[in-house]
Amino acid sequence: MPFGTSRVDPAAKKNRGIHIYASPQTQKKMKPSIPLRRICRGTNFNIRSTTSPALVPRILHQQRTPPTPSPRSTPVTTTTRRSFNLSSLSSLFPPGNGNRNDSSKSRVLTATRTLPYPPSALFEVISSVESYSQFLPFLTASTVTHRDPETGYPTRAFLTVGYGPLSETFTSRVDCNRDNWTVEARSGAKFGVDSKDGQEGGIFPGANEGIFEYLSTKWELVPVQGGSVQTRVQLEIQFEFRNQLHAAMMSAVEGQMAGVMIEAFEKRIREVEGR
């Protein structure tokens, strides 16, 4: 049924819409029915009557395109992980004194004491390696296996170091030099001393329990010039833990180790000399 037509009204620049023109005949036919305004409600249409000739009816429907919603930003979740390693165990133990480096497993400890004795008397006590376990702390066993045939001083020994539940036996190379007043005991591959070195019956029990990579103790006696007889005793201990767990367990006492050992040596000297 023809009821009207549509066209763009060039004069309706202000309205900016689509205009539907209905002829008088079409308007009469539309009266009984639903008004066109109601049909087009909500749409940008302007209804205007005209006396132009009848046109081919056409229904236009304009549908607005809904705005594209902006994409929601995806929330970013940050997970914090906390790692744990054995080196952090060192914070559980009080730090000792001495010149040690906590960032490494290797340690160098030193202690010095001036004693009222000649170096010869002190040297005899220090070179008596077999008696170390009787007066030195942290040394639970000491056995001399080889001696120099000329001087009688020890050249090889088994030394067992222990603290709490930790214990390890070393094959030590001993060097007693009376000319320089030094006694050294060195253990570990760093000094070319293997755990089987000098052991006829195989590995000594506990030789490979693995607390230290190496261990070295050096006693040096320096005569003090002056009116009275005095000797400065210098002790240097070098060692490296095999892992950080052992380093953490020993950190409570390692800084005091050299001082405690030289005090024990002084006590031993007083017992031997009787003063």
**Distant-in-sequence contacts of 27-30, Cβ < 8 A, 24+ apart:** 29/1, 29/3, 30/3
Residue segments in the chain with a per-residue pLDDT below the cut of 50: 1-6, 8, 12-19, 32-40, 42-63, 71-103, 196-209
Same domain, 123 and 243: yes
Query: What was the pLDDT predicted at 117?
Result: 94
Query: What was the pLDDT predicted at 89?
Result: 29
Residue 176: both structure tokens together: 């007693």
DSSP string, 184-235: EEEEEGGGTB-TTTT-TTSSPTTTTS-SEEEEEEEEEEEEEPSSS-EEEEEE
Same domain, 41 and 108: no
106-143 pLDDT tens trace: 788 899 999 999 999 999 999 999 999 999 988 889 99
Same domain, 167 and 32: no
Range of the domain at 32: 5-49
What distance separates the 2 farthest-apart alpha carbons in the chain?
A: 145
**Is 222 among the domain residues?**
yes
Query: What was the pLDDT predicted at 158?
Result: 92
Instruction: Tell me how many domains the chain contains.
Output: 2
- Helix, strand, coil % in the chain, rounded to nearest 5: 25, 30, 45
**Is 76 among the domain residues?**
no
Query: What was the pLDDT predicted at 83?
Result: 29
Query: What was the pLDDT predicted at 256?
Result: 77
Does the pTM surpass 0.85? The reply is no
Q: In this structure, what CATH number is given to the domain that contains residue 261?
A: 3.30.530.20
Q: Distance between CA atoms of 11 and 26, rounded to whole angstroms? A: 23
Cβ partners under 8 Å of residue 260, min gap 6: 137, 138
Query: What was the pLDDT predicted at 27?
Result: 54
Query: What was the pLDDT predicted at 169?
Result: 86
Query: What was the pLDDT predicted at 240?
Result: 86
**Is 146 among the domain residues?**
yes
